[in-house]
Amino acid sequence: MGKLVRVNMTKKEINIEPLPEKYIGKGGRWLTSMMISDEVPALCHPLGPNNKLVFAPGIVSGTRAPNSGRISVGGKSPLTGGIKESNAGTSFVQKMARMGYSALVLEGLPEEENCLMLKLTVDGGELIPADDLRGKGTYECAGMIWDKFGEKTSFCLIGPAGEAKMAMAGIAFNDPEGRSSRYAARGGLGAVMGSKGLKAIVLDDSGAPGVEPKDPEAFKEGQKKLAQAIMKHDVTKKGGALNSFGTAVLINILNEAGGLPTRNFRSGVFEGAAKISGEALAEAAEKRGGAGMMGHSCHPGCIIHCSNVYAREDGSEHVSCVEYESAWSLGANCGIDNLDHVAELVRLCNDMGLDTIEAGGMLGVAMEAGLAEFGDGPKAIELLKEIGKGSPLGHILGQGTQFTGEAYGVTRIPTVKRQSMPAYEPRAVKGIGVTYATSTMGADHTAGYTIAPEILAVGGKADPLSKKDKVGLSKAFQQTTAFIDAAGYCLFIAFPILDISSGFDGMVQTVNAMVGTNYTGDDVTRIGDEILRLEHDFNLQAGIGKEADRMPEFMTYEKLPPHDVVWDVTDEELDAFWEK
């Protein structure tokens, strides 16, 4: 039976207790959303004493299941005001599961200003003064943590943005080489961690008992099926699209489809797309050599290897990693086609502890407001540094896209539920627009990735410009995704399991073998729907009703080049999402 760790930041107390029976067999997003729903008042202030921050491994975390190193972090979002689950790929989750910890809950607020670190071992935990880390960037802190505790530990931490309680602050986790580069970034949960006076969490899994499935042979069989599907699919196999060019392989693909948001969502085509694409990243890695590489992984056990390390011209490491969302948000969305400028913006976000999607959305709106010209990389870098300085301007920008747009009277603000839209233009890709509108998390592509059939012809083929049946398509994807998040798998296993039935069976089989259940494919959608409705109910109690499930008004009347289309999914069609 798993254990639950409760850390009371008011009393400075750490209690470890058996996981309550109602939570046994749950994991990841399923568990974080249940606990937030059970324990956090929906109307509480996200930075106040009644919000909680929950860390939970997935159901199969800590095993040898492929691509199962995803940690879920839950709380009430300072950005959206609703429930939030944000996840990252990292060895942190594998160690946490192997130590027997099913969930870690941070609660309460310190009575005085604190900068503390939580260290957990198999024997318990302790809160350690961390004043030497106060105000420092995540890169420096990461090095200090490994110097102090050793490279066999794993950690998560916040940057200056989280300490300053900025609404687009994320939580950084370590990658295999100890970089603070793997982020549970969306929704401002780094600000919640900062409000509790906690700078970092360190896990030392020495002597950990490990994780044992209830049915080891069935687990191995399911694991094999899933791994074979991943290694067979063109998107995820070795030498495939993600492995060769990283997630930024989508830059050119979306640009050709007319769905790459450009210059604050003014167009679906960016003339400089090829210069910031996955192909450009791969070319730079080969040409510059040194630290540069494609095929990097975010956690042990990943067999897709879609991450990268981007090098400077002299071959020294600049940043890891330049993802599709980051290349788009800090590139095309800002009209910037210089990869070195994009890489520096990503590095700054990683170091300050910022969500790169929200940061790029904010910069696009700031450029709309005249704080910089579209395409001006050096000025964008200068603006982002204001956040690190903690200047008045920095505090405005650090609150995200919606806040910045409102502060400067901008009407083109591409957000839903106050969260910045990711790298897919909803007017040109209608299914992902439905996901943006209806997701409990605010605009979030990972909540229901309809890009698979709409753009990549994975799991079938759907016309991206048509709104027909897109509410049902998004709902099916959101339900399945919620289950994948609960299991602790990477979202990218969705590609093979959509096309290869044995891969889907393998995913379900590993979950069943892990916890002794008999789930079927129908249970995947049933459980996913249960998770979604739990989150939706929390949002309704928080005052976030159907009126929030809407696209920005400008998208309903501004025609998007090159297709000259508007957002035409009706409010009534969106409201039907939550009908039984």
Structural domains of the chain in order of their starting residue, each with its CATH number = 3-203 (3.60.9.10), 244-425 (1.10.569.10), 428-499+518-580 (1.10.599.10)
Is the model's pLDDT at 27 over the cut of 70? yes
- pLDDT, average across residues 551-557: 98
Residue 64 confidence (pLDDT): 95
In the 8-state DSSP scheme, what is residue 254? H
Say how many Å lie between the first and final Cα of the chain, rounded. 35
Is residue 259 within 8 Å of residue 268, measured between CB atoms?
A: yes
What is the average per-residue pLDDT within 200-205?
98
> Residue 76 pairs with which residues in a beta bridge?
83
Confidence tier at 113 by pLDDT (50, 70, 90): confident
Tell me which DSSP letter residue 21 carries: G
pLDDT higher than 90, residue 116: yes
Confidence at 580, pLDDT banded by 50, 70, 90? confident
What digits encode the pLDDT tens for the residues 362-409?
A: 999 999 999 999 999 999 999 999 999 999 999 999 999 999 999 999
Q: 286 — phi, psi (to 5°)? A: -70, -45
How far apart are the C-alpha atoms of 349 and 363, rounded to whole Å? 12
Contact 476, 438 (CB under 8 A): no
Task: Write out pLDDT tens, residues 56-112.
Answer: 999 999 999 999 999 999 999 999 999 999 999 999 999 999 999 999 999 999 998
Digit-coded pLDDT (tens) for 460-517: 999 999 999 999 999 999 999 999 999 999 999 999 999 999 999 999 999 999 999 9
Mean pLDDT of the chain: 97
Query: Quick one: 291 exposed, middle or buried, by C-beta within 10 A (0-12, 13-18, 19+)?
Result: middle
Stated as kind and residue range, the H or E segment containing 407 is helix 401-407
Give the position of tokens 């627009």.
433
List the helix and strand counts (H, then E) for the chain: 23, 17
Q: List the one residue out of 375, 352, 328, 441 whose CA is nearest residue 77.
A: 441
Average pLDDT over every residue of 273-282: 98
d(CA 580, CA 575): 11
Average pLDDT over residues 19-41: 98
Running DSSP on this structure, what letter comes out for residue 446?
A: G
Confidence of residue 1 (pLDDT cuts 50, 70, 90): low
Query: For residue 338, is pLDDT > 80?
Result: yes
- Residue 333 to residue 330: CA distance in whole angstroms: 6
Contact present, 179 and 89 (Cβ < 8 Å) = no
Q: How far apart are CA 577 and CA 289, in angstroms?
A: 49
Give residue-wise pLDDT tens across range 227-254.
Answer: 999 999 999 999 999 999 999 999 999 9
Angle separating helix axes 356-368 and 377-389, nearest 10 degrees: 110
Nearest residue to 578 (alpha-carbon basis) of 544, 546, 542, 541:
546
Confidence band of 114 (pLDDT split at 50, 70, 90): confident
Give the pLDDT band of residue 288 (cuts 50, 70, 90): very high
Closest CA to 158 of 123, 116, 126: 116
User: What integer is the mean pLDDT of 320-348?
Assistant: 98
Give the pLDDT mean for 22-41.
Answer: 98
Exposed, middle or buried: residue 522 (CB in 10 Å: 0-12, 13-18, 19+)? exposed
Across 413-432, average pLDDT: 98
Name the residue among 119, 83, 127 with its Cα closest to residue 101: 119
Is the pTM value of this prediction over 0.95?
A: yes
Residue 505, pLDDT score: 98
Give the pair of three-digit tokens for residue 281.
């990243």
